[in-house]
Structure 1
Amino acid sequence: MKKLVLTAAIAFFMTAAASAQSNVDTTSQTGFLHSSTTTQTGSFNTNTVTQAGLSNTSEVEQMGTSNMATTSQANFSSESYISQDGDSNIASVTQTGGFLSGDHLSEIDQEGDENEAYVMQAGDENESDIDQDGDGNWASVSQDGDDNDSDVDQDGDGNWAMVSQDGDDHDSDIDQDGDDNYAMVTQDGDDHDSDIDQDGDDNEAIVSQTGEDHDSDIDQDGDENYAMVTQVGDDNDSDIDQDGDENDAIVSQDGEDNDSDIDQDGDGNYAMVTQIGEDNESDIDQDGNNNDAFVMQVGDENESIIEQDGNGNMADITQTGDENFAEVLQDGFLNEATVSQTGDGNIGEIGQDGFSNEVMLMQTGDGNESYSIQDGWFNSASVSQTGDDHMHTGTQIGNGNSLTVTQSN
């Protein structure tokens, strides 16, 4: 009799253990003000929640390995909460609707290795929050509508995040702390904000904004970082701050009243800015060694300022249009500066402090002015202006300096 009872007990516990390792939960709710709560502890868990209606709430908590959670909510004002702690977790949230769509909230918290998160929201005033802590994580957020917010926080190695927003008044915030991180943001519409903060090694950031009144802010602190910003429209702002070694920054703006600001502090930095339109401004500040800066502006009332402090720096400014202004300040040695302006009312200023510096300025148009100051050894300056009302003032202090100026009307 005891043997029979013992055998039954063993069979019961084996069945419970097998059930704990292969749990499957499927929940389907239709209507409004529904609530679903699922807690899974163990391995090989799978959860699927489908809610259709208004003001529904889903909460999923998974602890273990190889977990998967999928939440689908339709219509208006739904909330989804997914928490995963373990390895090889996958979370997917889809929030859509018909006539009444929007005001959705999605929060995904993943802690572990090889986690993935997908969020798709349709409508207005949606919010997505993804928090990943571990290795091999990547997140994807797609929002279609107006006044949507996306926040992605990744802490670990090998992370990358992709955010796509279509509509007006969107906000995207990506924070990556670790190694080998990659972030890409695509925003189509008006009044969008994108903020990418990367702290670590081998980080990349790419931002594409189409429309008007966009703001892009990229902050990279680490080694071998790369940032690229493309803005098409009017009244766009781009700010790139890189602190570290071998950083690259590329900005392309097409439209009116665009601003670009690049600040690089470190070694082997490279910056290139291209602006096409009216009332554009560009500011590049490089502090370090082996820095390069290129600015090309096509349009009216453009202004470009490049300031380099370090060794082996090079600056190239090309402006085509009316009322352009260019200024290059270099402090160090082996510096080069080249400014070419074509249009009316251009002014070029170059100041160099060091030795082995070289200045070449060529302006073609009316009312151009050129100022060149060199202080050091082995400096050379060549200025050629073709047009009307030209004026040049050159000052060289040091040894082995050479100056050639050609002005023609």
Structure 2
Amino acid sequence: MSLGPKNGDFYNLHFDGGFSLTYSVYLCLTINQLIFTKMKNLLTGVFTLIAMSFGFAQANIDVTTQIGNLNLATVDQTGLLNMNSLTQNGNRNTADIDQVGIINMNTAVSNGNRNSIDVDQIGIGNSNNVSQTGNRNNASTWQLGLFNSTQQIQLGRRNEASSVQIGVGNGVFQYQDGRRNDASAIQVGSGNMAYQIQTGRRNEADGLQIGANNLLVQYQAGNDNSANHTQVGSSNIALSAQIGDDNTAVGLQVGSANQLYQVQLGDSNTAIDLQVGNGNFSWVTQSGDAHFHLGTQVGNGNSMVINQSN
């Protein structure tokens, strides 16, 4: 058995032979340590480039428009060629925009009343696009690094969307249509992508990705659904689709090239899956009501296909 980083890169961990919980824990610790080292080097480079930009002529661009009553906008831009376009149309909307670095871009629109937007961009070439239509919606974006992108769209009332990105080239897309939906995405690393779509009421989608080139897709249509997925490593794929009410989908993948697919059609279904290792595959389909599934795969190259119906 060989365990550890290959070619000096945390996302090329490989295994030959058996697999145990001890090595699973070791894998997590190794990944976390290497991610910390890479992020430390990244942040050092980012802040060096930002400091260099201050020595040149600074030309930031801001276009802010407010139509209505008692709206509040705060914009702070430090660096070179940062661009902000903010529009608030309605009453008692608030927006706080902070940009530090080079060529960060933000476009934010609120149509309605008592909506809130909070954007923090630190680095180079980060982009954020927020659109809210309705009342009492909240959207927040926090980006640290290079060329990260976030797009958040909310329609309805009292929806919450948040995106945190640390690293290079990560992407988040979140869409919510309804009331009291909550979507949260956190990405640390490079090349990770997250898509979260919710329609209905009181749905919750949470995604955490640490590593490189991971893909997360979560779709919910209905009421009171919950989806929570975490991926640590590289090139993992997690897809969850819930159509109905009161469904729960949970997934954890640690390693590389694992695939997890969960489909729930009905009400009150639960699917929980854990995969630790490399190249594992899980497919879970639940049709009907009140099904329960708990799947665990530890090792390499395992495959699981589950179908439940009534």
- Using the size of structure 2 for normalisation, the TM-score is 0.42
Compare CA radii of gyration and give the structure with the larger one. 1
Using CA pairs under 8 Å that are at least 6 residues apart, name the structure with larger relative contact order, 1 or 2: 2
Hey, which of these two has a bigger chunk of helix by percent? 2
- Using the size of structure 1 for normalisation, the TM-score is 0.34
Hey, which of these two has a bigger chunk of strand by percent? 1
